[in-house]
A = this chain, B = another copy of it.
Amino acid sequence: MADAITSRAEDYSQWYLDVVLNAKLADYSPVRGSMIIRPNGYALWENMQRGLDGMFKETGHENAYFPLFIPESFMAKEAEHVEGFAKECAVVTHSRLMVGENGQGLMPDPASKLEENLIVRPTSETIIWNTYAKWIQSWRDLPILINQWANVVRWEMRTRLFLRTMEFLWQEGHTAHATEAEAMEETLKILDIYTTFAQDYMAMPVIRGVKTASERFAGAVETFCIEALMQDGKALQAGTSHFLGQNFAKAFDCTFQNQNNELEYAWATSWGVSTRLIGGLVMTHSDDQGLILPPRLATKQAVIIPIYRKDDEKTAVMEVAERMVRELKDAGVGVHLDARESQRPGWKFNEYEVQGVPLRLALGPRDVKNEKVELARRDTREKEIVPQAGLAERVTRTLDEIQQGLFDRALAFRQEMTTPVDSYDAFQEVLEEKGGFVLAHWDGTAETEARIKDETKATIRCIPLEAEAASLSADEPGEDLLTGKPSSGRVVFARAY
């Protein structure tokens, strides 16, 4: 099976697709650009949802559900939003099919043409702010802290499983506040949640920063983001949190009576992460043998594979295996005993390796006799024979070590791949020969940013937040690479997904 996976060295892009397909995370769909999320991939998404949803709810957010369809006219209401989202989207024009004119196949019934076309949501600011305008009258109605888990559609030309698909799953938070300060606080609170999730659950280190004007969300005043680094040295935007100011409140006339009885526009935020995170997870940790999952996101954290030939061996092995399942379950380990007889142990070893299960326990007749079991770590591929006594404690500790080890390895890689440069020559050389994050001074103009992007395909991933900049030693003043104009600190450049 691992033969089916191209090595990273040979073709990184093909390696990624091979891992996704062979680990059965996703499959292609008959509709170009759409994907099928298979049970292994969806279980990962469910675990991601559980982690994020818990943090959203702890901070006072509630889930709701807004309609899939948005009236065409709504898309035009917020000027920048039109530019950003009205372009590539799925347009519903008819509400009925009929048998085709030649008596074969189906076609839209011309009589069912809609009075106003409907857009399949690419994001939901417009329909939500149209609703908030109805719900918000007084400061007493604020804040509104709503999130939704939903599918969205953006008509992408070049798609790649999880990383860029026409339809994807995500969460989108949309909050309304009485003051600018409160909305900004919310924006940053969510950035914290995303950071915690990326680092503590996904074991994926991220840089926190703010986007330049040209990389901002269409309709936002400021876009904050977390940026991760993939193993091929390209950046991945992993989550964004937008401070929308009063732009959408003004577009949809959403005012409220404040405590001084004055009419004011509400302040807004929106924020989202998507199934794209699954692509980021794959590209952060996996290897040429397949997927590697951090234990906190793995439904199957440990798999037990019984090995036997004769019936009496089977009885002895299965008895111990089942006892181990109980012990591990009691200790809170997500353990799976694969007792299928339709597949051989070697096939199973390979299967769970490709699927990234963090720990494999193999148990044969000799292990039973010696009261031992073989423990194999997916991340380091180390094997060890350990006593059955104290197994739960040993497994729990090893899972913690794997979780931490994956983060440490990814952080070390990112540090090695983060390069400060002070000349445009060095900048181009690093991008070509090493990749990764390049820390460079920038004069703050869109012109310089555009020229660099044009000439090198590198974009400004973010202007790092203060503490972040300090930790990257990117906070000292300097001069722009191209123009020599003053800069107060380095920004983070990279080629990106």
Which residues of A approach B to under 8 Å, CB–CB? 27, 29-31, 34-39, 41-43, 45-46, 62-76, 82, 86-97, 105-108, 112, 117-120, 127, 130-131, 134-135, 140, 146, 150-151, 153, 155, 167, 169, 342-343
B30 touches A127 (CB 8 A): yes
Contact A63 B46 (CB under 8 A): yes
Pairwise interchain contact B146-A39, C-beta atoms closer than 8 A = yes
Find out whether the CB atom of B66 lies under 8 angstroms from the CB atom of A118: no
Contact pick for A35, options B63, B67, B150, CB 8 Å = B67
Other than the given A72-B105, A91-B108, 17 more pairs (CB < 8 A) read A27-B131, A30-B71, A30-B130, A36-B67, A36-B131, A37-B65, A39-B64, A42-B62, A68-B120, A68-B167, A72-B107, A76-B105, A87-B97, A92-B92, A93-B94, A97-B119, A151-B151
| Complex Cα spacing A134 to B36, Å | 12
CB distance from A47 to the nearest CB of B (A): 11
| B-side contacts of A106, CB under 8 Å | 72-73, 75-76, 82, 86
Q: Can you pick out 26 interface pairs between chain A and chain B where the beta carbons lie within 8 Å of each other?
A: A27-B135, A29-B66, A29-B67, A30-B74, A31-B118, A34-B69, A36-B64, A36-B65, A39-B62, A42-B65, A46-B63, A68-B153, A72-B105, A72-B107, A82-B106, A87-B96, A87-B97, A89-B96, A90-B95, A90-B118, A91-B94, A92-B92, A92-B120, A93-B93, A96-B155, A107-B117
Chain B hits for A108, CB < 8 A: 91, 93, 117
Minimum Cβ distance to chain B for residue A219 (Å): 16
Q: How far is the CA of A114 from the CA of B89 in the complex (A)?
A: 12
Which single member of B42, B64, B107, B140 contacts A63 (CB below 8 Å)? B42
Rounded to whole Å, the gap between the CB of A118 and the closest CB of chain B is 6
Report whether B167 and A69 are in contact in the complex, using a CB–CB cutoff of 8 Å: yes
**Least Cβ–Cβ distance between A144 and chain B, in angstroms:** 9
Is B62 a contact of A43 with CB atoms below 8 Å? yes
Q: Is the CB of B95 within 8 A of A92?
A: no
Contact B97 A89 (CB under 8 A): yes
A73 to B100 Cα, complex, angstroms? 11
